[in-house]
Amino acid sequence: MELNLTGRPGGHGTPDDFANLSAVLIDGDDIFLDNGAIHGKSVIERGIDFRTARSAEEVPEGRTVHVVWVTLKRYEGGSGYNGIAAAQLIIDAAKGVGYKAMGPLVNQMDRAVKGTVELSSLPDADKQRLAAFLAQFRTDLWENTPDEVKAKLA
């Protein structure tokens, strides 16, 4: 399966964007697809200066936003979710500053691309919300996802 990071003309926003790599953001009670995160340009990241903070502690009033990288695989019954890996951003929108550790973000993206499910940084409640979101977003993909992948979201 080829990884297409450049996207299609016209931008992202349709279910077909899950063709290889997608980003699901969990920001408090909100959970949504934003493939701009693949390029560090999600709606949450725009206007935030990530250059000044060298650690999460330098953004003491920041909120945690989870970036969940999701990939697909073609199984016997059709395409389903395969790699799912989470990383974090710390964002203080009021001050326009944030922190993101590029190493973990890229490593988690790589894990998802390689078909690994790694969600240790994601609270259990958010794992369940993620599972519900993925199931609702594309029921066909969810139905074709192996039980061992689904179990890691429980």
Rounded-to-10 torsion of CA 30, 35, 37, 41: -100
**51: which DSSP letter?**
S
Half-sphere CA count of 106, side-chain side, radius 13 A: 4
| Alpha carbon 130 to its chain's center | 10
**Which phi-psi region, left, alpha or beta, contains residue 96 (left: φ > 0; alpha: ψ -120 to 50)?**
left
Which residue is associated with the tokens 């429980």?
A: 154
Each residue of 29-76: pLDDT tens digit?
999 999 999 999 999 999 999 999 999 999 999 999 999 999 999 999
Q: What is the pLDDT of residues 67-125, one digit of tens each?
A: 999 999 999 999 999 999 999 999 999 999 999 999 999 999 999 999 999 999 999 99
Report pLDDT for 13: 47
154: confidence class by pLDDT, cuts 50, 70, 90:
confident
In this model, does residue 3 exceed pLDDT 50?
no
Strand 78-92 relative to strand 117-118, pairing: parallel
Task: Give the pLDDT confidence score for residue 134 in this predicted structure.
Answer: 98
